[in-house]
Structures are given as structure tokens and as C-alpha cells.
């Protein structure tokens, strides 16, 4: 197994998409793996509530992982498109700042597929910016359903989570430590 100082280190763009559960979990699993090697990690959540005290935010606090949540500011309603656009732009500006900061070896953009899919951000511009500005050694992990083609093309690794069964289908409640 190569160690953390392997000379062939190159940043990857990793995309977890699809309808099955496990996209955010997979991204956070990578954060844990990277953190264990001393990589500096940052998570930016585009959709989750900023007030959430999820298991993962508690863990991140203890691990000293930079964590930003944009909150549940999206309305998902066409009459509030301008609001959603402004909110998405705020998040994207933050992401750009963190990507350029030199402070992180791995950045997660959680649920970032939605601003691109719903046109709150221009997918072509965002992907072109990432292609031109992402530091070559920095890993970027993106999650969310319905990834647009531009994002698929940019990514080095794309995994589509396929929904086979989910406990919600049979009315089971969300379980602490599994869902939050």
C-alpha cells in the first residue's frame, strides 16, 4: 500500500450520484480515510440545515474538520427562483474561496448536483471554473442525485448509488447513527 507521501499524488474529482442511499455517507467515509492520513478536509453542505447537530457534524467538530452548511435556504419553487439562485451563488462563492485558499487537501461539496441540475448556477461555467482553478493535488468530492453531464465529464470517478431497498419503503423510522 503506498503511503501518504507517494510521489504520484494527483487530486481526483469524485462524484457520488444516483437514487440510492449512501452518497453523503461515502463522501464522509473518504473524509475519514483522508483525515487518518493527515489530509486537511473541508465539507460544504449545500442543502442541509445549518442548525442540524448530525452525528457527522459532531464528529467533525471533534476531529477539527472545517464544516460549512448553507442551510435549508432553498425553496425549490419556481416563483422563488431568484432566491434559490442567490443562495446557490453564496454557496458557490464560499466553495470557490475554500478551493483557492490552500487550506484543504480534500473538499466535499455535498448535494452540489442540485444547483447545477436546477439551473440555480450555470453548470458550464461552474465546471469550467473547476477545471481551470482546482489545485491539481486537491481532491474534490461531489454528491447528489441527477448529476448533469458536464459534471460527469469532469469527474475522474463516478459511482451511481442504485436504490434496491430502503427501510423508509416499509415505514421504518430514521435511525440515529444511520440517518442523522
CA–CA separation, 43 vs 101, rounded Å? Answer: 14
Helices (H), 37-155: 55-63, 81-100, 113-117, 123-133, 149-154
Q: Which of 9, 21, 117, 145 is catalytic?
A: 21
Residue 53's binding partner out of Mg ion, ligand ATP, none, with CB under 5 to 8 Å set by partner kind: none
Q: Is 145 in the site for ligand ATP (CB under 6 A)?
A: yes
Q: How many residues does the chain have?
A: 180
CA–CA separation, 48 vs 34, rounded Å? Answer: 23
Kindly identify the residues of this chain, within the stretch 4-63, that bind Mg ion according to CB under 5 A: 23-24
3-state DSSP assignment of residue 158: strand
Give whichever of 23 and 87 is closer to Mg ion, judged by the CB atom.
23
Whether 48 is a known active-site residue: answer no
What are the φ and ψ backbone dihedral angles of 163, each rounded to 5 degrees? -80, 115
Contacting ligand ATP (CB under 6 A), which of 22, 55, 73, 135?
22
| 8 Å CB contact between 47 and 74 | yes
Q: Residue 48 has which C-alpha cell?
A: 442541509
Give whichever of 56 and 98 is closer to ligand ATP, judged by the CB atom.
56
Contacting ligand ATP (CB under 6 A), which of 9, 21, 68, 85?
21
Of the candidates 80, 152, 70, the residue with the CA atom closest to the CA atom of residue 120: 80
Give whichever of 23 and 104 is closer to Mg ion, judged by the CB atom.
23
Contacting ligand ATP (CB under 6 A), which of 24, 45, 113, 155?
24
β-partners of residue 15 are: 142, 158
Query: Which residues bind to Mg ion, rule: CB under 5 A?
Result: 23-24
- Catalytic positions, please? 19, 21, 23-25, 33, 74, 76, 111
Query: Which residues bind to ligand ATP, rule: CB under 6 A?
Result: 19-25, 111, 143, 145, 161, 163, 166, 168, 179
Amino acid at each position: 500500500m503506498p503511503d501518504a507521501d507517494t510521489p504520484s499524488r494527483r487530486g481526483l474529482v469524485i462524484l457520488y450520484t444516483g437514487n440510492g442511499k449512501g452518497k453523503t455517507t461515502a463522501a464522509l467515509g473518504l473524509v475519514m480515510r483522508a483525515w487518518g492520513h493527515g489530509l486537511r478536509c473541508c465539507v460544504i453542505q449545500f442543502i442541509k440545515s445549518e442548525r442540524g447537530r448530525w452525528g457527522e457534524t459532531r464528529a467533525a467538530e471533534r476531529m477539527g474538520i472545517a464544516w460549512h452548511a448553507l442551510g435549508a435556504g432553498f425553496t425549490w419553487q419556481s416563483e422563488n427562483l431568484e432566491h434559490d439562485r442567490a443562495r446557490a451563488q453564496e454557496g458557490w462563492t464560499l466553495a470557490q474561496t475554500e478551493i483557492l485558499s490552500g487550506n484543504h487537501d480534500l473538499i466535499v461539496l455535498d448535494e452540489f448536483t442540485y444547483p447545477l441540475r436546477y439551473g440555480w448556477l450555470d453548470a458550464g461555467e461552474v465546471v469550467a471554473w473547476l477545471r481551470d482553478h482546482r489545485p491539481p493535488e486537491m481532491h474534490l468530492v461531489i454528491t447528489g442525485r441527477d448529476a448533469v453531464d458536464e459534471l460527469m465529464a469532469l469527474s475522474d470517478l463516478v459511482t451511481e448509488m442504485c436504490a434496491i431497498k430502503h427501510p423508509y419503503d416499509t415505514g421504518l423510522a430514521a435511525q440515529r447513527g444511520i440517518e442523522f
